[in-house]
Amino acid sequence: MFIPLWRFRHSMAPRAWALTGGVGLVILAAVMQVALPWPLKVVVDNVLQSSGKPPENALLRVFGAEGMDRLQLLTVALAGLLVFTLIYAGASYLGSRLLNGVGERITASIRVDVFAHLQRLSLSFHDKQRLGDLVTRTTTDVDYLRTMIISMMAVLVPNVLILGFIATICLVVDPAFALIALAVAPLLFATVLVYRPRVKSASRAARSKDSDIASAMTETFSSVRAMQSSTSEGRHEADFRDRNIARMNAGLRLVRLQSALSPLVDVIVVLGTVLVLWVGVGRVLDGTMTLGLLLVFLAYLKALYDPMKELAKLTTVISRGQVSAERLLEILSTAPAIVDRPGARPAPRLKGAVELREVSFGYAGSEILHAINLRVEPGQMVAIAGPTGAGKSTVVSLIPRLYDVTHGSVLLDGIDVRDLQLATVRKQISMVLQDSILFRGTIYDNIAYGADHPTREQVLAAAEVANVDEFVRTLPLGYDTPVAERGVSLSGGQRQRIAIARALVRDTPIVILDEPTSGLDAISEQYVMRGLDRLMIGRSVIVIAHRLSTLRRADVIHVLDHGRIVETGSHRELVAANGLYSRLDGIQHAPDIPRLVKPLPTAVGMTPLSTEFGTGP
Ligand code: ADP
C-alpha cells in the first residue's frame, strides 16, 4: 500500500514538517475522542449512583478528584467534557486544514513533475500515446492520488491509533469483556480484505475508460474542421456514446461494490453491539460491572466501529488512489529514449556540415530507412524528393535526434550527434514544417519562442525579413495580437511566415524545411519563399520539396523511394536521366524554363520577386 507513495517521496519531503504537524494534530484529536466517555462515567457512577461520599476509585485518583463532593465532581466532569471537546474540535480543524493544504501542495508538485517528465520523453514514446490519456493522468489521477494521501494521513493514521488506544484501554479495564467487544473485528477486516482487490480492479477499469473518453474528446475537437466538412459528426457521436456507455458500466460496477460495503459493515457492527449489550446488561444486573463502565464500553464500541467503518470505506479511496499512483508511476518511470551519452560534450558552434552515413532506421521493428548516405556541405542546399511515404520526413527527423538511428550514424561537422549534448545540438538546428503550429500567446511571443531571450530588435528584424511585418501592420494590436491555440486564427501562409521569423531569431547554422510551402496558394507561397530565401543565406539547408521552385535551386537533390536513395543529382541532371524523379508529380510537365511570376503589388512594400523561381505545378 505504501510502496507507490514512497516513490513520490520527493514531492512530500519538503512538506515533511507540515505533514508531521498535521498528523500530530489529528492524533491529538483522536486521543481526545478516546477520553470523551470518561467524564460521563464519573457522572453516572460517582454522581448519580453513589449516596453521600463518592466511593474511591482509580479514575478519580488519576485526576486527583478523590474526596470531592458530588457537586464538585459533577463540575469537574462536565468541565472535563467541555475541555476535551474543545481540544478535539480545535485539533481536528487545524489538522485537517494543514493536511489538506499539504495535499494541495504535494499534488501541485507531482503534477509539474509528471508534465516536465512527459515533455522530456522522446517522440517514440509520444507516438504511442493518446493525448486524452495523458490529460486524465495529469489531472484526475493526480487528484485521486492526493485524496489517497490525505485520507491515509487524516483517516487511516488516527483511526488505527484510536482502534489501538481503545482496544488497549478496554483490555486493561475488563479483558474478558473487551474480547467480547472486539469479537467482530476479524469479520470486519475479512470483509475489507475480500473487497479490496475487486474495488481495485473496478477502479482500474473505470480509469482506463476515463482515458478513452478524454481521448475521444481530444481527437474529435482537434479536428473539428475535418469532422464537420466531412459530415462525420454522427460517427464521432456514436463512438463517443459507446465509450461513454463503457465508462458508465465500469462506474456502475464500482458503485455496486461501494454500496454493498457500507451496509455490510453496519450489519457486522450491530452484531457486535448486540453481543456487548447481552453480556454487559447481564453483568450490570448481577453487579459485576458498573452502569458507567457499560456506558463507556458502549461509547467505545461506537468509537471502535466508526474507525473500522471509515477504514472499510477507505478501501475504495486507497484502491482508487493506488491505481492512479500506478498510472502516474508508469509515466515517471519511463526513461526518455534519447538522452545524452555519458561523456557527451557540448556541441561547438557548428559550421553546418551534415552527413548521414549508412543510416538505417525503423520506428518499431520493421526498417523504414535502408543504408542512407547523404552529405550537406556548410552553406549548401540539399533537397529530398520522392513519393509520399518514402521516408523523407523520417530522414530529417534523425538530424536533431528526434529519433536515434538503428545503424550507421548522423554526423554534424564530422562528429556523431550522439557524442554531443542533445540540447546543444538542437539549439543549432531550426525546423520549418509543412504546417506550423503556433502556441497560445502573442505573435511577438511566437517569434521570440525559439531563442533564449532575444532582444526586441532581433525579433522585429526577423519579422521584417520573414514578411510577418507586412500583415502584422494591418492588425490593430500589431505584434501583441493574441494567437488562438494552434494558430487557427491565422492563415497557413501567415503561420509559415511566423515560423520562418522564429527560425531567423534562432539564427542556427542548420535549417531543415519540410515542405514549408505545400498547401499555400501562389501569392502566399511567394511571400513565404522570400522569407525562406533570406533564412537560407549562409546556412546549410535540407529541404523536403515537391515544388519545382524549390527543387530547381537545390545544389543536390536526393530522390528517396521505399527508404532508399535511388537517384542523386541536380534538377537538370535528374530530368535528363528520365528516372523516378522525372515521373514525380508535376515534374514531367514542367517547362525547363521557369515561368514568369506576376509581380506582387508594390503597395505592400515589396519589390517584385525575381523571375528565377516558378510557382510550381
Ligand atoms: P514521407 O515524409 O516521405 O511521406 P515518412 O517519413 O513520413 O514519409 O514515413 C515513412 C514511413 O514511416 C511510412 O510508411 C510511415 O507510415 C512510417 N511512419 C512515419 N512516422 C511514423 C511514426 N511516428 N511511427 C511509425 N511509423 C511511422
Residue 597, pLDDT > 60, answer no
Q: How confident is the model at residue 616 (pLDDT cuts 50, 70, 90)?
A: very low
Q: How far is the CA of 369 from the centre of ligand 1 (A)?
A: 10
What CA–CA distance (Å, rounded) separates 295 from 107?
43
- Average pLDDT of the chain is 84
Q: How far is the CA of 565 from the centre of ligand 1 (A)?
A: 16
Q: Is 423 domain-assigned?
A: yes
Domain count across the chain: 2
Q: How far is the CA of 391 from the centre of ligand 1 (A)?
A: 6
- Dihedral sign, CA of 170, 176, 179, 183? negative
Residue 595, pLDDT > 50, answer no
| pLDDT for 9 | 78
The whole model's pTM is what?
0.74
Using the atom order of ligand 1, give the atom closest to the CA of residue 388: 4
Residues 438 and 301 grouped into a single domain = no
- Average pLDDT estimate for 83-92: 94
- H helices within 222-342, ranges in order? 224-229, 233-285, 291-332
| pLDDT for 391 | 93
Closest CA to ligand 1's atom 19: 394
Q: Give ligand 1 pocket residues (Cβ under 6 A).
A: 127, 363, 368, 386, 388-394
Residues 575 and 445 grouped into a single domain = yes
Using the atom order of ligand 1, give the atom closest to the CA of residue 124: 23
| pLDDT for 582 | 86
What CA–CA distance (Å, rounded) separates 216 from 243?
8
| pLDDT for 617 | 35
- Average pLDDT estimate for 505-509: 91
Residues 80 and 228 grouped into a single domain = yes
Residues 300 and 365 grouped into a single domain = no
323 Cβ partners below 8 Å, 6+ apart? 144, 200, 203, 204, 207
Closest CA to ligand 1's atom 15: 389
Residues 364 and 424 grouped into a single domain = yes
| pLDDT for 48 | 79
Last residue of a domain, one of 297, 332, 367: 332
CA distances from 524 to 350, 604, 608 (A): 32, 13, 14
Domain that holds residue 431: 354-614
Q: How far is the CA of 389 from the centre of ligand 1 (A)?
A: 6
Q: Is 346 domain-assigned?
A: no
Tell me the CATH number at 378. 3.40.50.300
466-481: per-residue pLDDT in tens? 888 888 888 888 888 8
| pLDDT for 34 | 84
Residue 16, pLDDT > 90, answer no
Residues 419 and 318 grouped into a single domain = no
Return the percentage of the chain with pLDDT > 90, whole number.
27
Using the atom order of ligand 1, give the atom closest to the CA of residue 563: 10
Q: What φ, ψ does residue 321 adopt, rounded to 5°?
A: -65, -35
152-204: per-residue pLDDT in tens? 888 888 888 888 888 888 888 888 888 887 888 788 778 878 887 888 888 88
Identify which of 356, 359, 368 to mutate to test ligand 1's pocket (most ligand atoms within 8 A of the CB): 368
Closest CA to ligand 1's atom 21: 363
- Average pLDDT estimate for 136-150: 89
Residue 258, pLDDT > 90, answer no
What CA–CA distance (Å, rounded) separates 356 from 376?
9
99-138: per-residue pLDDT in tens? 889 888 888 899 999 999 998 898 889 888 888 889 889 9
Residue 561, pLDDT > 90, answer yes
In the chain, the amino acid numbered 455 is T
396-417: per-residue pLDDT in tens? 999 999 999 999 999 999 999 9
Residues 314 and 359 grouped into a single domain = no
| pLDDT for 588 | 56
Q: How far is the CA of 609 from the centre of ligand 1 (A)?
A: 35
Q: How far is the CA of 378 from the centre of ligand 1 (A)?
A: 28
| pLDDT for 511 | 93
Residues 258 and 404 grouped into a single domain = no
Q: Is 339 domain-assigned?
A: no
425-455: per-residue pLDDT in tens? 999 999 988 888 888 888 999 899 878 888 9
Q: How confident is the model at residue 220 (pLDDT cuts 50, 70, 90)?
A: confident
Q: How far is the CA of 337 from the centre of ligand 1 (A)?
A: 19
Residue 596, pLDDT > 60, answer no
Describe the chain by its helix, strand, coil percentages, rounded to 5.
60, 10, 30
| pLDDT for 2 | 52
Residues 591 and 490 grouped into a single domain = yes
Reduce the DSSP state of residue 354 to 3 states and report it: strand
Residue 614, pLDDT > 70, answer no
| pLDDT for 602 | 39
Identify which of 359, 393, 405, 564 to mutate to test ligand 1's pocket (most ligand atoms within 8 A of the CB): 393
Assigned C-alpha cell, 30: 483522536
Q: Is 340 domain-assigned?
A: no
| pLDDT for 350 | 92
| pLDDT for 230 | 80
Q: How far is the CA of 583 from the centre of ligand 1 (A)?
A: 22
- Lowest mean pLDDT segment, chosen from 34-38, 304-308, 367-371: 304-308
- Average pLDDT estimate for 60-81: 78
